[in-house]
Structure 1
Amino acid sequence: MVRTPDTADVARAGRGARDVAHSTPVRIAARIGIAANGVLHLMIGWLAVQVALGSGGQADQNGALGAIAAEPLGRAFLWVLVIGFAAVVLWRSVSAVWGFGYLGDRKKQLAKRVVSAGLAVVYLVLAVAAATTAIRGRASSGSGGEATAGLLGLPGGQIITALVGVGVVIGGGVMIWNGWTKRFMEDQDLAGADTRIRRLNARTGQVGFIAKGIAVGVLGMLLGVAALTFDPQRANGLDSALKALREQPYGVFLLIAVGLGIACYGIFCFLDARYHRVT
């Protein structure tokens, strides 16, 4: 006879998950994962500048992972990234349920937990993409256009795609606001950092969040255009958003600025890996 888990079993399972997520090995691996995200953003920033200057290439996470895989020992390094990303997924998932006790405001706690849940999904996607690239030795050929086509193919797909686009634009705006107001520093413990590190952390975070917010906002607008025109290739992921910037007046300079800003976010991730509250 199979016993149905009771409340005590669920509580013990919850405590076990928290203990694992807060263990020293997972906390160290989570910091590695945050730093690994920095590596990806440095690569994406570099690829964006190359696109601005007229070179080919895919300026998104798949392009960055493919560039890493092409290097000597690149595939081995990708497995290190997979471990780090997986640790971040575990940590963020637990934080989404029990985290942010250091914030006294209940509403702030709830907002942070929702964001943490979203980041768990983002890092899960990164872990799967890095593992796939490490196994194949090349980046996945999947595109954002395929995902958009899937949305458009659903009943009411144009409305759903348009709503997703609005949500992405709002998300980009929130990133810009968080960068401008330096809200990202709420989740860091800089007590032991000297003035120069604090200043570098604040400036790279500000520039990085704003640059990423611009790119994400453009992607949201492209999703809206894809919904209106019923053309999924109008919204082919971050790569299409960055290339759309290049087509604007003074787009080369704008894309170079955004690419450098995304690289700044990569530098910020290295600092965040050291000072983020991984508790």
Structure 2
Amino acid sequence: MTVRKSYADGSVRAAGRAGFVARGAVYLLVGALALGIAFGRGGEEADRQGAVQRVAEQPFGSVLLWVLAAGFAGMALWRAWAAAVGGAGVRGAGGRAVSAARAGFYGFVCWGTAVSAAGGRSGEGGDAASRDWTAAALRLPGGRFLVGAAGLALLGVGVGVAVRAVQRRFLRKLDTAAMRPRTRTAVTATGVAGNLARGAVFAGAGAFVVVAAVRFDPGRAKGMDDTLRAFAASGPGPWLLVAVAAGLLLFGAFSLFSARWRRL
């Protein structure tokens, strides 16, 4: 029984590490697409859908997409395992619920990637989907308040991610004792910058959802791509988008570091 449990734990840990590699690859592509937008070469959406499309265009693209789908399946399995049996820093019912939600999210991402690998369409892009979901929610009784609460929650998540990045709390989940000093410096730098950029995107998207609720206009809601383009149209101009895009690239690198050093 002990040997069987150890084998299961080892398999789930391997699946989790594969998931971090897949997440890193997607964020590297999203960051590169966002840089293209900043420098006037943005023809594709700078979000997961755009990243999947970019992979599909490469030689053996469908094979690469199946590999990505397998990685996301591994992440979903690891998150589901943490929700079911605990561990991996999961504490209490709240932690298990968050892990279960993350498992569902990565299961959805896996499904969408697999559909694309099979040559189908996994649905609308993130921007159109955000507007459709917002429009559907606004039609519900009290929809404006529901949408506003969802936007505030997303904004809060973004701020929380940024604050935890500055506090370097992500290091608690990594085996820093086994790192060499230069490795720890690189991991810390990519973790801080990458999570700050990711937090900025979440907070920006949440703010647009709040505006959609206040103005009762689902067209104001934005997905990741439109949020990034809004950074380029802000006061600082494209340089703000350059900074965020560079941060997303660094988050991709941090995810690859996590595949090696994360305590699973």
Q: Which residue of 2 aligns with 1:90?
A: 77
Query: 1:190: Cα distance to partner?
Result: 2.6
Q: Distance in 2 between matches of 1:118 and 1:182?
A: 24
1:119 aligned residue: 102
TM-score by length of 2: 0.90
CA displacement, residues 113-163 of structure 1 (integer Å, 9 cap, x when unaligned): 344233223312221221121122666434322222222222221111110
Q: Deviations over 1:200-219 (max 9, x none)?
A: 11110000001100011000
Contact 2:82 2:88 (C-alpha < 8 Å) held by counterparts: no
- Matched positions, count: 258
Counterpart residue identity of residue 49, structure 1? L
- Determine the C-alpha separation between the residues in 2 that align with 1:223 and 1:243: 16
Where does residue 11 of structure 1 map in the other structure? none
Match of 1:45 in 2: 31
Q: 2:12 touches 2:81 (CA, 8 Å); kept in 1?
A: no
State the match for 1:77 in structure 2.
64
Q: Which position in structure 1 is the counterpart of 2:216?
A: 230
Pick from 117, 127, 132 the counterpart of residue 134 of structure 1. 117
**Distance in 2 of aligned mates of 1:189 and 1:86:** 24
1:149-208, Cα deviation, whole Å (9 max, x unpaired): 222222221111110000000000110011101111111113322111111111100000
CA radius of gyration, larger in: 1
1:53-98 CA distance string (max 9 Å, x none): 2232211111111111111111111111111211211211221243
For residues 75 and 169 of structure 2, what CA distance do their matches in structure 1 show? 20
Q: Is the 8 A contact 2:15 2:77 kept in 1?
A: no
Q: Where does structure 2 lack aligned partners over 5 or more consecutive residues? A: none
Q: CA deviation at 1:109?
A: 5.2
Q: Distance in 2 between matches of 1:111 and 1:242?
A: 31
Q: Tell me, yes or no, if the aligned pair for 1:66 and 1:139 is still in contact at 8 Å.
A: no
Aligned pair in 2 of structure 1 residues 45, 173: CA closer, same or farther (>3 Å)? same
Tell me whether 1:218 sits opposite 2:201 in the alignment: no
Contact 2:15 2:78 in 1 (8 A): no
Amino acid in the other structure paired with 1:234: R
State yes or no: 1:64 paired with 2:51. Answer: yes
**Matches of 1:148 and 1:253 in 2, distance apart?**
30
Of residues 108-117 and 201-210 in structure 1, the stretch that sits farther from structure 2 once superposed is 108-117
Q: Does 1:174 align with 2:151?
A: no
| Structure 1: unaligned runs, 5 residues or longer | 1-14
- Output the CA distance in 2 between the equivalents of 1:241 and 1:30: 29
Q: Secondary structure at the match of 1:71?
A: coil
Distance 1:228 1:69, change over 3 A: same
TM-aligned CA distance change 1:204 to 1:109, over 3 Å: farther
Q: Could you tell me which residue of structure 2 aligns to residue 193 of structure 1? A: 179
* Rounded Cα–Cα distance in structure 2 between residues aligned with 1:19 and 1:92: 17
| Aligned residues of 2:21 and 2:256 also touching (Cα < 8 A) | yes
| 1:255 alignment partner in structure 2 | 241
1:100 partner amino acid: G
- The alignment yields a C-alpha RMSD, in angstroms, of 2.3
Identical positions, percent: 34
Query: Cα distance 1:137–1:101, how it changes in 2: closer, same or farther (>3 A)?
Result: closer
State how far apart, in whole Å, the 2-side matches of 1:256 and 1:124 are: 31
**Pair 97,228 (structure 1): closer, same or farther in 2 beyond 3 Å:** same
Structure 1, 20-29 or 124-133: larger mean CA deviation: 20-29
Residue 153 of structure 2 aligns to which amino acid in structure 1? Answer: G
